[in-house]
Structures are given as structure tokens and as C-alpha cells.
Structure 1
């Protein structure tokens, strides 16, 4: 199996499960409100929807580059709203530890995006 396929499968799986959990456990809406996300109910629903849809597209390896755009913004938002306060409150090491998955996913998404001109890598 080509590495690009595997990366698509793994990243897609993470976002698919994350989005599905947002639909299953609606108590997570309050965490969006506590973080100060504007229009948190709507943002929560759309983040969950985009995570599920984009995760499925990545797993199916179709419209990969279209699905990467919202996922990159979701990861930037996650870092900004959930991890940046840790940096300002607890310091760099606590921030790096708490954001390790977010940073890894963001790097993988950017890496997949950088491969957009190399279609054969995904086939």
C-alpha cells in the first residue's frame, strides 16, 4: 500500500470518528460555548458535519483536496480555541503535550495538500 493511501485512511478515520462522536455526545456543545466560539450551536453542528463528510471523502480518496480545506481550518480553530489558552496559562511544555495530536493532524493535512499536483501518489 502506498504511504499516501495510508495517510488518507488514517486521517480520514480520525475525523470520521471525531465527527460522529460530536453527533452522538451532544453534551460537547457546552464545551464550544465555554471556549467562546461564536454561534457555538451552529459551529458545533457544521464542524461535526464537515468532519464526517471530509473523513469519508479521505477514506474513499475522492475529492481529497476539497476535503482538506475545511479540515485544515478545523484544526487551526482547535489549536486557537482549545490549545492556545494552555500556552498562555500553563506554558510551552503543557501546550506541546496537549496539542500533539492536533499538530500531527495539521502537519499531515498540510502534507496531503502539498501533494495536490502528484495525483499518482493517491492512486
Structure 2
């Protein structure tokens, strides 16, 4: 896959931005804490804080263009888990409801996959 370097940098910046902001928000938003509690996971707040730390660290690594391939792997795991926990259950509400609510998760998964496949470090 050959992508223009400046386009790849833009992709890295956007993905890093999304995950760094997402991680920071998990520390400052009580609403996100309540959301994790209602997922039915054991130790929901601990899981949320671990996810937040991973998102911030991996986002920063991607932003600095260091070990991008390795940094995308935990983020792919987080996105797949979030998709399975929060979006797949929406299939019971109908295909279009699911598709609408899952659209940004799918885009982020694709962008992470592009970053993973395009970096050799």
C-alpha cells in the first residue's frame, strides 16, 4: 500500500488526536465512568482508567511517529472490544440503527488498520 507521506502524517495526527482526547476525557468525565459501570464489566472504573492510560500513551506514540505499528495493536484491541460491547448489541434495534451508531468505530478501526499495515517499524 503506497500512501503519500503528508497524507500519512495527517492520518497519524487525526488518530492520535482521537485517542489522546478520548483517554483524557475518561479521567475528567463522570458520564464516561457511569457508561463503563453500566457495561457490566468487573472493576469498570479500573478498566476505564487502564484503557484511558493506554489510549493516551499509544496516541502519543503515534503522534511522535515512534513504533506506530506496535502502538496501533492495543488500540485495535480496545476498539474491537468497545465495538463488541457497545455496538453489536444495537443489532437488536435494527440494521440502520446499528450502522449509524457504529459508523465512527468502523472508521477508526479502518484508520488504525491502515496505520498498522503502512508502518514497518
Contact 2:87 2:102 in 1 (8 A): yes
Contact 2:16–2:63 (CA under 8 A) maintained in structure 1: yes
- Structure 1 counterpart of 2:36: 32
Q: Which aligned pairs between 1:99-118 and structure 2 lie closer than 5 A?
A: 99-117=102-120
Shift, 1:27, TM fit: 3.8
Residue number in structure 1 paired with 2:84? 80
Is the Cα–Cα contact under 8 Å of residues 23 and 56 in structure 2 kept in the other structure?
A: yes
Structure 1 runs of 4+ with >6 Å offset: none
Per the TM alignment, residue 65 of structure 1 is displaced from its structure 2 partner at its CA by 1.2
Aligned equivalents of 1:33 and 1:79: distance in 2?
16
**Deviations 1:26-66 (Å, cap 9, x if unpaired)?**
34222112111232122101110011111111111112111
The CA distance in 2 between the partners of 1:16 and 1:59, in whole Å, is 9
- TM-score w.r.t. length of structure 2: 0.89
State yes or no: 1:97 paired with 2:93.
no
Alignment match, 2:46:
42
Compute the RMSD of aligned alpha carbons. Answer: 1.4
Q: Which runs of 5+ in 2 are unaligned?
A: none
Q: Do the aligned residues in 2 keep the contact of 1:29 with 1:41 (CA within 8 Å)?
A: yes
Alignment size in residue pairs:
117
Deviates more, 1:21-30 or 1:76-85: 21-30
Distance in structure 2 (CA, Å) of the matches to 1:9 and 1:84: 28
Bigger drift between 50-59 and 23-32 goes to 23-32
